[in-house]
Chains A and B, each alone.
Chain A
């Protein structure tokens, strides 16, 4: 993790001269009586990489799942690449085509081969001819360094390989924004690195990324900003150096003292 090599990655949001990729304005969400997201305001610029951390139950996953409408918000506005998310199914489909998502438990389709998993969405959603879609799939499988597994079923792969397939599957739709929901939390310790390396590679290519993760090494290396959440609220957001070295809020200090031992 050389600081010099990554200096280009450390652009602060104010220095990014790109259009806004995701914007959440006063977003509130309830599960029944339970207020899960409380007045969330967050603006993510194109090419920016945000790492979201916080204790479990703090609403991190819920927040990024609102961005591709896997969860509905009840108040406030969410704009993704200029499109506002409402109940309009067309808008939702439009947003989902532009936003890739990687899950904690991979959510690969177990009845399809790795290649079919990747080529499925281009074929059915983008209407790409089958041969072209498979070429795209092989391109991204090569990029995540597992082209030789294309013919296998997900159940035959290791956790780290499955997660890399999941990343390739999302990339096949050529998304503008990638969401990662605790991508390494379900992995054996030996496999975390291969997935993080893939994500670092994506970041170096300038992908807009929102990552829910407790991998603080990754956050330091890749993130433009770190967002800390607790009980449904954004408690603190800052660039990595400031966040780790000079946390402001007491809750942030407590959290960091717990995880950085």
Chain B
């Protein structure tokens, strides 16, 4: 053949390939920073318009935020006069001395000051547990689970509520408050809702009518009423039926209410994941002889939970912010302590409320964003089975 490959069009009837075409690198416009810009920010007129719009929005928002939180902010002061424009004769941003002074109230609520080390120990133990459990390369993760799910709850309970026999004076839960309460409520909700939710989801798909009926009734009832109602029922209606001396602690009632509420939502999230698992996976597991619980634990849940991670974390983030609702039954969570502190006459100034809410926003955002990022990392890690 005298013609080169390119000369012989396949439109002619006869075609036989001579040499195979070697792979070539992609054109320069597809790679590097410029390629990324083109592909992601400037790919179409609509995309260009969006890019410009968002750039303008950021250009307007960020300087305002920086100005309020940093440049115009007051960093030191003893009382409200430091943060008032009429006294200082300048534009005033965030009133940070208010936050410094009330910070310990934000963290501990009214927990007795000499006993606050117990809360610090609890935070430290919880932090160790969370890292041990969530850091996938951590040593002895089996011990980590035992620590997190058995040792930590028991010791925390003793530590925080007190046990006179070992020299820890009891602290009534009515005195608990701030970040302590938010963390306790959120952790109990997060830790309890997933297993209960999984059981409810499995129950709803069970072939046993009694189990299925219970799961459906529970899920639909709890999901059908607002969390506020659940909390009210737990704190106001329960004492009507149970004699006062037997009725559980107010915080415990709220904890149970939140855990059950979150479980009902979690059940539906997990059920969506179970629904997405092909029938063949169940059959494959049964055919090799696995029992029901082995099949669920080893084959079905790892796959179902993987595809529901975004939704599980979504529920967790919602739950974390819903903990603020416990204030309506008289429990002082973090947001409630900010609320109380901001109307303190000592710090009454036009910027005090804004500062308090900014702190609350930053606090909730950090926790929720951390959950979101961790979930992303987990998804990426678990996606290895999908690799081609």
* A-to-B contact residues, CB < 8 Å: 68, 70, 93, 96-97, 99-101, 103, 105-112, 120-121, 124-125, 153-156, 169-170, 173
Nearest-neighbour CB distance to chain B for A85, whole angstroms, equals 13
Residues of A within 8 A of B388 (CB): 155-156
A153 and B284 in contact, given A120-B298, A125-B290 (Cβ under 8 angstroms): no
Check B287–A155 contact: CB distance below 8 A.
no
A155 and B386 in contact, given A105-B280, A111-B302, A124-B294 (Cβ under 8 angstroms): yes
- CA–CA, A112 and B281, complex, Å: 12
- CA–CA, A103 and B285, complex, Å: 12
Residues of A within 8 A of B386 (CB): 110, 153, 155
Q: Tell me which of A99, A105, A153, A169 contacts B385 (CB under 8 A).
A: A153
- B289 located at the interface, meaning its Cβ lies under 8 Å from any Cβ of chain A in the complex: yes
**Beyond A99-B287, A107-B284, 20 additional pairs, beta carbon < 8 A:** A70-B286, A93-B291, A96-B286, A97-B289, A103-B280, A103-B283, A103-B284, A107-B281, A107-B283, A108-B284, A109-B303, A110-B303, A111-B306, A112-B385, A120-B288, A125-B291, A153-B384, A155-B386, A169-B288, A173-B288
Nearest-neighbour CB distance to chain A for B274, whole angstroms, equals 15
- B299 located at the interface, meaning its Cβ lies under 8 Å from any Cβ of chain A in the complex: yes
Check A96–B287 contact: CB distance below 8 A.
yes
Residues of A within 8 A of B168 (CB): none
0/1 string, B287-330, CB within 8 A of A gives 1? 11111001000110011001000000000000000000000000
A100 and B287 in contact, given A110-B385, A124-B298, A153-B385 (Cβ under 8 angstroms): yes
Nearest-neighbour CB distance to chain B for A99, whole angstroms, equals 8
- CA–CA, A68 and B281, complex, Å: 15
Residues of A within 8 A of B299 (CB): 109
Check A124–B281 contact: CB distance below 8 A.
no
Check A96–B281 contact: CB distance below 8 A.
no
A-B pairs with beta carbons under 8 Å apart, 9 shown: A96-B288, A96-B289, A99-B287, A100-B287, A103-B280, A107-B283, A109-B303, A120-B288, A155-B386
Check A155–B280 contact: CB distance below 8 A.
no
* B-to-A contact residues, CB < 8 Å: 280-281, 283-291, 294, 298-299, 302-303, 306, 382, 384-388
Check A111–B287 contact: CB distance below 8 A.
no
Nearest-neighbour CB distance to chain A for B253, whole angstroms, equals 40
Check A107–B387 contact: CB distance below 8 A.
no
- CA–CA, A121 and B289, complex, Å: 7
- CA–CA, A173 and B291, complex, Å: 14
- CA–CA, A219 and B16, complex, Å: 38
Residues of A within 8 A of B287 (CB): 68, 70, 96, 99-101, 103, 107, 170
Check B284–A121 contact: CB distance below 8 A.
no
Nearest-neighbour CB distance to chain B for A66, whole angstroms, equals 13
Residues of B within 8 A of A93 (CB): 289, 291
Residues of B within 8 A of A155 (CB): 385-388
Nearest-neighbour CB distance to chain A for B305, whole angstroms, equals 10
Residues of A within 8 A of B288 (CB): 96, 100, 120-121, 125, 169-170, 173
Q: Tell me which of B290, B306, B387 contacts A153 (CB under 8 A).
A: B387
Residues of A within 8 A of B302 (CB): 111
Check A111–B284 contact: CB distance below 8 A.
no
* Beta-carbon nearest neighbor of B302 in chain A: A111
- CA–CA, A107 and B350, complex, Å: 65
Residues of A within 8 A of B382 (CB): 111
Residues of A within 8 A of B285 (CB): 109
* Beta-carbon nearest neighbor of A124 in chain B: B294
Nearest-neighbour CB distance to chain B for A176, whole angstroms, equals 13
* Beta-carbon nearest neighbor of B299 in chain A: A109
Residues of B within 8 A of A112 (CB): 385
- CA–CA, A156 and B385, complex, Å: 8
Residues of A within 8 A of B281 (CB): 107, 109
Check B290–A124 contact: CB distance below 8 A.
yes
Nearest-neighbour CB distance to chain A for B191, whole angstroms, equals 24
Nearest-neighbour CB distance to chain B for A149, whole angstroms, equals 13
Residues of B within 8 A of A99 (CB): 287
* Beta-carbon nearest neighbor of A97 in chain B: B289
- CA–CA, A154 and B299, complex, Å: 14
Residues of B within 8 A of A110 (CB): 303, 385-386
Nearest-neighbour CB distance to chain A for B321, whole angstroms, equals 31
- CA–CA, A105 and B278, complex, Å: 11
Residues of B within 8 A of A105 (CB): 280
Check A111–B303 contact: CB distance below 8 A.
yes
Residues of A within 8 A of B284 (CB): 103, 107-109
- CA–CA, A124 and B287, complex, Å: 13
Nearest-neighbour CB distance to chain A for B279, whole angstroms, equals 9
Nearest-neighbour CB distance to chain A for B346, whole angstroms, equals 58
* Beta-carbon nearest neighbor of B279 in chain A: A107
- CA–CA, A125 and B298, complex, Å: 12
* Beta-carbon nearest neighbor of A172 in chain B: B288
Residues of B within 8 A of A109 (CB): 281, 284-285, 299, 303
* Beta-carbon nearest neighbor of A94 in chain B: B289
